[in-house]
Structure 1
Amino acid sequence: MENQGMQRRPHVVLVPAPLQGHLSPMLELGTLLHSKGFSIIIAHTIFNSPDPCNHPEFSFLPIPDNLGDQTAAAANLMTLIITMNNNCEAPLTEILAEFMKRNDQHDQICCIIYDMIMYVSGAVADKLQLPCMILRTSAASAAAAYEHLPRLNAEGYFPLQDSKLQDLVPGLHPLRLKDFATADMGNIKDIIEISAITNNTRNASALIWNTVDHLEHTALALVQQAYPVKFFPIGPIHKMAPPSSTSLLQADSNCMAWLDKQAPHSVIYVSIGSIAIMEEKELAEIAWGLANSSQPFLWVVRPGSVRGSEWIELLPEGFKETVGERGCIVKWTPQRKVLAHVAVGGFWSHCGWNSALESISEGVPMICRPCFADQNINARYLSEFWKVGLHMDGQLDRVKIATTIKRLIMDKEGLEIRQNANAMKEKTKLSVAKGGSSYSSLNELAKLILSNQLPK
């Protein structure tokens, strides 16, 4: 039984989306808010549920989602988002209402913070008359770009024509029309509709951004014009929070011993994230591209990420013998530790926003190879605007791969990109340090939640 004299912590409910790039920053936000004196409740789907053992300081409330064996493959991402929200509204309302009923007025929920793609949480907060905020786990630059979709559609830019793919988008330098990857997300009307739903801030009192002001000051200012709510850029969240396990997949730490044997800045680290799928032909081109680059490489091949294969049984004949000890292939890595290792000279990335921030935070230059959705926009900004990477565009082939790796690791061009990445790293360090923009923004966020002045 709780001591009478013990001060009660105000409860904050966090509703993460069950995708790795969304789950990690939400759990880390929970750790940050817990350090500020809040009691954290994670209301999560059963699909891709986090492990409570990794966060004993949190309370966990599973939401019956009725998703069955449905997976978060890129091909059905839109369907997953819509189905998940439709299925979760009633049970989320019920479990939170039951929690509020069990606790007295001094032990109530002071705020719900939900991931933007768990948008039904806003309606739940409205029903329960609770204040709410939204966590944006994507880049502000991507949010600003998608705000223009209705205008571009009205002006006849969609459906995209092959002859226009390389054209720059008016008012959105450096984006090209092809960077709006609509084909993998459904038709343009569906995308505009789901964007309007996920971007709805009608019930929210604030937007929390996993980004850094120095990186996206202009984009944040543009998006602020569209959303008349308070903004709190507190990223990179993983650099603000103490280390914890938020991965849905088991990392193979043996790769760290392999990295210890490699020369500084020599290794190309390859990972396409937790969702993307590749074809056997792409696997072969990547394999021979890595082999022909003559650079050591650490390659993440996620089980099930090669269509028709359980793991690496479809690697081309003779590949392993050719690369020998120069290559290390694993199922998953402790990515942040890998990127912080002195041996890593470049990161071939799918350009998910979490991975981009992790690379920038460690000053690691990138090979940008986006797979779907906002990754295309991220890749363009990383390579053409922030100039911390090379955009490997078009169809994959082994010659292009080997050439791009050599450009990044060996050439003068790569040295300049590394210098840009290191400059970004130092600015980011200052942002999360005491007195920095992200540090201050987090403190302001905590004060606002505690103020009891949030609209309901």
Structure 2
Amino acid sequence: MEHPPPPPPPPRRHVAVCAFPFGTHAAPLLHLVKHLATASPDTRFSFLNTATSNSALFTKSDPSSNIIPCNLNEEEGGSRNGNPFVRFIETAGVSFRRRMEVAEEEAGGVKISCVISDAFLWFCGEIVDEEKEKGNNLCSWIAVWTSNVASISAAFHTDVLRTKYGVVKQGIEGREDEVIDCVPGFSNIRVKDILDCVPGMLSETINSAFDQMTYKMALSLPKADGVVVNSFEKLSPTITNDLKSKMKLLCIGPFPSIFPPQIVTDKYECLPWLDKQKEKSVVYISFGTVATPPPHEFLALVEALEGGEFPFLWSMNDSNKGLLPLGFVDRVREDEAFGKIVEWAPQMKVLGHPSVGGFVTHCGWNSILESMVNGVPLICRPMLGDQKVNQRFIESVFGVGVGLEGGVFTKSGAIKALHRVLSSDQGKEMRRNVQVLRGLAEESTKQGGSSIENLNALIKLVQSA
């Protein structure tokens, strides 16, 4: 008679990972935690997240994994606000605390000794402080910022920026194009570039749920035992050095290089299609999953692609195809040389293909890094959050891309931007610049590079908890 295998020994240590379930925050956090879990196989990582987000991240159960998805009870505390984001913020402090207690029971009583959280979840630092005061084992809080150092610097300097440029003092009307001179590393950044990154910049008080969360995060980060940022030190050295003087900053990036996807499928055969195209001739288009341009801008981009005869690969959800002009999908399907529309593309592989000459993007930070490490210049259409300041760095600091005239797609503006990137001398200069940044990124991720050294320091911090 076969006997069942003995139960695994209890984990040596227990880490709670607290995810922010909106946008694209949770996935990069999980990529980081997977690396930490591999480096610390005797550690249990309880991944606390909403059920909806966890079901998307953990597509299949892995009994051998030491990362355990733990769903929050989202009904605890708070109001019955119809906005899921506001409801999450109202209940998060209570639901994460209680789920940590349950996670300890599920781990056989092994106490949590370290909390790794999305930086937005500032209250995790308070949880650690409260446990320290009780004399309990919980001793470390590590905050993870999945975007760039510029956006975290803008939030950190909220009080300075609101006082000098916001409505707190005199209002920004007529001052939108002023260059910021009170934050290190922002000498090419204008007031209008940071309005979505600085809490309460356009109001007398910091009122909204998102602004309050961001402001409390900025005040809390200097207390963290480590602040992980998805960047590398030589990308924005002035900002990085300033933040390092104020908090325990660990630049561990680019995430797409350090934590590349292990399995890449190409179910829509993007790569074979790209194999048939000329070198640096194709424009890749993707606006992410959170926000897309309005229908009239989709129409303008389509007219630019057709009028300028730019071959393209466009990754979009089926739900967004209704925004395209009537007959466009059929024309693309009938003329393979014209372009290709797919529901999903292996973005890193696509950007690394020699046929791709430009990337039309919403300026999400992970997409920017993926383009950067593959040496592809960008055409920017930011929509929300840190995307506007990201564009400004791309265009005016790094010199690796262009914005659109008026900030939105028009037929003539899109054609002009596509020509600049794909076929002009300025486009060649962008490609040279992005190759320099690509080299710096590669240098940071080699053995002895700054990102690898910072990653090793993070592993030691987790293992010493």
Q: What secondary structure does 1:213 align onto?
A: coil
Q: CA deviation at 1:297?
A: 0.7
Q: 1:217 aligns with which of 234, 237, 247?
A: 237
Query: Which residue in 1 is equivalent to 2:226?
Result: 206
- List per-residue Cα deviations over 1:158-201 (Å, max 9, x = no partner): 38656432222224221112112349987543376433212223
405-414 or 269-278: which moved more?
Answer: 269-278
Q: 2:414 aligns with which of 401, 407, 410?
A: 401
Query: Which residue in 1 is equivalent to 2:429?
Result: 416
Q: Is the 8 A contact 2:189 2:392 kept in 1?
A: yes
Q: CA deviation at 1:18?
A: 1.4
44-53 or 420-429: which moved more?
Answer: 44-53
In 2: Cα distance, 1:252 partner to 1:120 partner: 41
- List per-residue Cα deviations over 1:380-433 (Å, max 9, x = no partner): 011111111112242321111011101101111101101111121122112111
Q: 1:240 aligns with which of 258, 262, 267?
A: 258
211-220 or 37-46: which moved more?
Answer: 37-46
Query: Which residue in 1 is equivalent to 2:73?
Result: 64
Do residues 108 (structure 1) and 111 (structure 2) align?
yes
Query: Which residue in 2 is equivalent to 1:70?
Result: none
Q: CA deviation at 1:293?
A: 2.5
Amino acid in structure 1 at the alignment position of 2:371: S
The higher-RCO structure (CA 8 Å, 6+ apart) is 1
Q: CA deviation at 1:215?
A: 0.6
Q: 2:214 aligns with which of 161, 185, 195?
A: 195
Q: 2:297 aligns with which of 282, 287, 290?
A: 282
In 1: Cα distance, 2:324 partner to 2:273 partner: 21
In 2: Cα distance, 1:90 partner to 1:157 partner: 33
- List per-residue Cα deviations over 1:143-167 (Å, max 9, x = no partner): 2223333223223543865643222
Amino acid in structure 2 at the alignment position of 1:204: A
Matches within 5 A, 1:217-366: 217-227=237-247, 230-244=248-262, 253-303=268-318, 310-317=319-326, 319-320=328-329, 324-325=335-336, 326-366=338-378
In 2: Cα distance, 1:88 partner to 1:376 partner: 28
Q: What secondary structure does 1:311 align onto?
A: helix
Query: Which residue in 2 is equivalent to 1:48?
Result: 53
C-alpha spacing 1:177/1:5, structure 2 compared with 1 (3 Å): closer
C-alpha spacing 1:124/1:80, structure 2 compared with 1 (3 Å): farther
Q: CA deviation at 1:280?
A: 1.6
Amino acid in structure 2 at the alignment position of 1:282: E
Matches within 5 A, 1:126-141: 126-129=129-132, 130=138, 131-141=140-150
Query: Which residue in 1 is equivalent to 2:152?
Result: 143
In 2: Cα distance, 1:338 partner to 1:157 partner: 41
Where does structure 2 lack aligned partners over 5 or more consecutive residues?
77-81, 133-137
In 2: Cα distance, 1:100 partner to 1:266 partner: 54
6-15 or 386-395: which moved more?
Answer: 6-15
C-alpha spacing 1:52/1:322, structure 2 compared with 1 (3 Å): closer
In 1: Cα distance, 2:328 partner to 2:8 partner: 67
Q: CA deviation at 1:245?
A: 6.7
Q: Is the 8 A contact 1:212 1:428 kept in 2?
A: yes
Q: Is the 8 A contact 1:12 1:39 kept in 2?
A: yes
Aligned residue pair count? 430
Q: Is the 8 A contact 1:126 1:203 kept in 2?
A: no
- List per-residue Cα deviations over 1:6-54 (Å, max 9, x = no partner): 6945332211211342122111111110121143221111233233245
C-alpha spacing 1:184/1:319, structure 2 compared with 1 (3 Å): farther
Q: What secondary structure does 1:423 align onto?
A: helix
Q: Is the 8 A contact 1:54 1:245 kept in 2?
A: no
Q: Is the 8 A contact 2:197 2:386 kept in 1?
A: no
Q: Is the 8 A contact 2:287 2:362 kept in 1?
A: yes
In 1: Cα distance, 2:151 partner to 2:366 partner: 13
Q: 1:86 aligns with which of 81, 84, 90?
A: 90
C-alpha spacing 1:291/1:374, structure 2 compared with 1 (3 Å): same
C-alpha spacing 1:161/1:208, structure 2 compared with 1 (3 Å): closer
Q: Is the 8 A contact 2:155 2:215 kept in 1?
A: no
Amino acid in structure 1 at the alignment position of 2:409: L
C-alpha spacing 1:6/1:406, structure 2 compared with 1 (3 Å): same
In 2: Cα distance, 1:344 partner to 1:279 partner: 25
* TM-score of the superposed pair, with normalisation by structure 1: 0.85
Q: Is the 8 A contact 1:12 1:109 kept in 2?
A: yes
85-94 or 362-371: which moved more?
Answer: 85-94
In 2: Cα distance, 1:212 partner to 1:380 partner: 18
Query: Which residue in 2 is equivalent to 1:176?
Result: 190
Query: Which residue in 2 is equivalent to 1:432?
Result: 445
Amino acid in structure 1 at the alignment position of 2:125: G
Q: CA deviation at 1:270?
A: 1.1
Query: Which residue in 2 is equivalent to 1:71?
Result: none
C-alpha spacing 1:299/1:7, structure 2 compared with 1 (3 Å): same
C-alpha spacing 1:251/1:203, structure 2 compared with 1 (3 Å): farther
- List per-residue Cα deviations over 1:63-86 (Å, max 9, x = no partner): 12249xxxxxxxx9xx65543132
C-alpha spacing 1:293/1:435, structure 2 compared with 1 (3 Å): same
Q: What secondary structure does 1:48 align onto?
A: helix
In 1: Cα distance, 2:98 partner to 2:430 partner: 51
234-243 or 56-65: which moved more?
Answer: 234-243
Query: Which residue in 2 is equivalent to 1:24?
Result: 27
Q: Is the 8 A contact 1:14 1:112 kept in 2?
A: yes
* TM-score of the superposed pair, with normalisation by structure 2: 0.83
Amino acid in structure 2 at the alignment position of 1:425: R
In 1: Cα distance, 2:8 partner to 2:212 partner: 51
C-alpha spacing 1:65/1:447, structure 2 compared with 1 (3 Å): same
Amino acid in structure 2 at the alignment position of 1:219: I
In 2: Cα distance, 1:9 partner to 1:208 partner: 24
Query: Which residue in 1 is equivalent to 2:39?
Result: 36
Alpha carbon RMSD of aligned pairs, Å? 3.0
Amino acid in structure 1 at the alignment position of 2:95: P
Q: Is the 8 A contact 1:252 1:330 kept in 2?
A: no
Q: Is the 8 A contact 2:230 2:254 kept in 1?
A: yes
C-alpha spacing 1:320/1:224, structure 2 compared with 1 (3 Å): same
